[in-house]
Amino acid sequence: MYTEKVWRQYTRSAQVLPNLPSAYLAAWLEKLGYEVKIIDAFAERLRPEETARRAREFDPAVIGYNLITENFLDTLAAIEGVKRLTGIPVIAGGLHMSLYPAETMTHEAIDYGVTGEGWQTLPDLLERLAAGADPASVRGICYREGGEYRVTEPRPDTLTLEDVPFPARHLLPNDRYTTVMSRQWPITVMVSALGCPFRCAYCDVPGDRYQARPAEHVVAEMEECVRKFGIREIWFQDESFTIDKNRSAEISELLLSRGVEVKWSIRTRPDLVDRKNLRLMKRAGLMKVHLGVESGSPEVLERLNRKMDLETIRRAVRWSREEGITTLGFFMIGLPGETAEDVRRTIKLALELDCDYIQVNKFVPCPPSPLYRELVERTGIDYWAEYTKGNADIIGELAGRGSEFTPSELDEWQQIFFRSYYYRPSYIWRRLRQLGSFREFKNLALSAASLR
């Protein structure tokens, strides 16, 4: 999704955030009586040798990993390194395991896979392993037996985020987390809702299940973050925080009535922005809104099933800025049917909107999005399945698939987009005037250098 230089900087320091699925499962296992340790090797920049040393000191029965499709092979390399040094059995889960269980299990460093949600499956599997029993009766797993791949009957989802404890932040290196846009530390991430009811053609978030937590439950976790862990900034990772404006208003009112002082950020769609709601959220600590703009071409937006006009986008950014809320615009280039003229229109819109920050991704179709399913049906090739089996180079063919650009041409357009935006003298001067600390300056300077 990024050119190599931008990718290196982005993954090194521009966004280092806790892994919520791991923290949730750790809290759940602790509630059930297990002793758990989280080693965030990425945040602490640990080599496999140091990770393995810490794991051996803890002496666990198993090591668990959360798998993400887009960086699976990088994660696998870390898994293989730690497994080689410790020999400790590995259980892996996450959406990637559910999408590609058979392909993932071709890698011998992974002993068991949890498909679907792990709330009940993981404890069930741990009990069977501790007893030395056959895992075949555990629903929702895959494994190898005699060198052969085995998969058990799926387990239905029954628990919600209201049924489990808040993430185990006491096990996380909270002082290590940061983003290029952060102004206060420590920071953390939260989700107030899972899934998304909209069905944008490029989106890899399953749209068949939307689960929103009650305002009271959300605020209780925010209050714990502040009072117990000294958190000063919270990034909500919901796909669209303001789907239910009554709920977002209730969250804000509860924060104000309880005197919970914390800065927070949200992601949402421009057509879900309401000025009155923005004003109330700002009073309650909202400092930044991330808006999915994607394209400046109405025709491209239509093909993406993004049913909103450009004026709606302009209005959402304008209202946010007028309320004193920092804005970030998400953009993509290389979308299906996109031309150079479409990209120029997108750059023009970005400059007109003049958000405080932008993020420009090269379009890379990912499962289980509709556009990726169409690609697999059309070509007969499941690119991410082949990648999972070890063919890392095949993903290079996906950037900008369906547009008029080659992958290298798309790299050039991404650099042009970033430079056109961030190297404007007016933008640089504005950012310098708004700096709040040397740490913020350093983060911004490193990001700017990666665009050269």
Q: What is the largest CA-CA distance in the chain?
A: 66
Q: Quick check: helix, strand or coil at residue 444?
A: helix
Q: Is 233 exposed, middle or buried (0-12, 13-18, 19+ CB in 10 A)?
A: buried
pTM of the model: 0.91
At residue 328, the pLDDT reads 96
What's the rounded Cα separation, in Å, for the pair 391 and 393? 6
How far is residue 396's CA from residue 409's CA, in Å, rounded to a whole number? 13
For residue 253, pLDDT over 70 is answered with yes
Same domain, 137 and 183: no
**pLDDT higher than 60, residue 445:** no
Question: CA 216 to CA 247: how far, in whole Å?
Answer: 10
Nearest to 304 by CA among 355, 338, 343: 338
Given 151, 185, 215, the domain boundary residue is 151
* Per-residue pLDDT tens over the stretch 275-298: 999 999 999 999 999 999 999 999
* Whole-angstrom distance, CA of residue 15 vs CA of residue 324: 23
How far, in whole angstroms, is CA 145 from its chain's centroid? 34
How far apart CA 220 and CA 189 sit, in angstroms, is: 14
Instruction: Output the six-digit token pair for 368.
Output: 């289980």
pLDDT at 448: 59
Is there a domain that residue 160 lies in?
A: no
Q: Are residues 137 and 232 in the same domain?
A: no
Question: For position 163, what pLDDT does the model report?
Answer: 95
Residue 324 belongs to a domain: yes
pLDDT digits (tens, 9 = 90+) for 356-382: 999 999 999 999 999 999 999 999 999
CATH number of the domain enclosing 125: 3.40.50.2300
**163 is a domain residue:** no
Closest listed residue to residue 385, CA positions, set 402, 364, 367, 407: 367
In which band, very low, low, confident or very high, does the pLDDT at 413 lie, cut at 50, 70 and 90?
A: very high
Tell me: pLDDT of 268 over 60: yes
The residue out of 151, 166, 187 marking a domain boundary is 151
Q: Which tokens go with 191? A: 């989700």
Is residue 106 located within the same domain as residue 210?
A: no
% of the chain residues with pLDDT over 90: 81
User: Following DSSP, what letter does each residue of 119-169 receive, concatenated?
Assistant: TTHHHHHHHHHHTT--GGGSTTEEEEETTEEEEPPP------TTSSPPP-G
Answer whether residue 140 shows pLDDT above 80.
yes
pLDDT in tens, 64-103: 999 999 999 999 999 999 999 999 999 999 999 999 999 9
- In this structure, are 89 and 136 located in the same domain? yes
Distinct helix (H) and strand (E) counts, the chain: 18, 15
The verdict on residue 340 lying in a domain is yes
* Residue 266: strand, helix, or coil: strand
What are φ and ψ of residue 279, in 5° steps?
-60, -40
pLDDT at site 449: 57
- Quick one: pLDDT band at residue 414, thresholds 50, 70, 90? very high
Q: Is 329 helix (H, G, I), strand (E, B) or coil?
A: strand
**Is 309 inside a domain boundary?**
yes
- Identify the domain containing residue 111 by its residue range: 18-151
What is the per-residue pLDDT for 435?
66
Ranges 112-126, 206-220, 319-333: which has the least confidence: 206-220
Q: Note whether 214 and 360 are same-domain residues.
A: yes
How many domains is the chain built from? 2
Same domain assignment for residues 303 and 407: yes
Question: Does the pLDDT value for residue 2 go beyond 60?
Answer: no
pLDDT of residue 439: 61
Decide the pairing of beta strands 193-194 and 15-16.
unpaired
Residues 138 and 30 in one domain: yes
Is residue 329 scored above 80 in pLDDT? Answer: yes
The verdict on 183 and 237 lying in the same domain is yes
Tell me what pLDDT residue 182 has.
82
CATH number, domain containing residue 217: 3.80.30.20
11 lies in some domain: no
Same domain, 321 and 438: yes
Is residue 119 located within the same domain as residue 236? no
Confidence class of residue 1 from pLDDT cuts 50, 70 and 90? low
Tokens of 152: 């058990």
Task: Answer whether 52's CB lies under 8 Å from 81's CB.
Answer: yes
Predicted pLDDT of residue 429: 81
Quick one: 182 and 69 in the same domain? no
Instruction: Place 4 in a pLDDT band, splitting at 50, 70 and 90.
Output: low
In a domain, 208, yes or no: yes
Greater pLDDT, 120 or 207: 120
CA distance linking residue 405 with residue 340, whole number of Å: 8
Residue (of 264, 322, 335) closest to 293 by Cα position: 335
Which of 17-21, 152-156, 402-406, 447-451 shows the lowest mean pLDDT across its residues?
447-451
* Same domain flag for 330 and 432: yes
Q: Does residue 145 belong to any structural domain of this protein?
A: yes
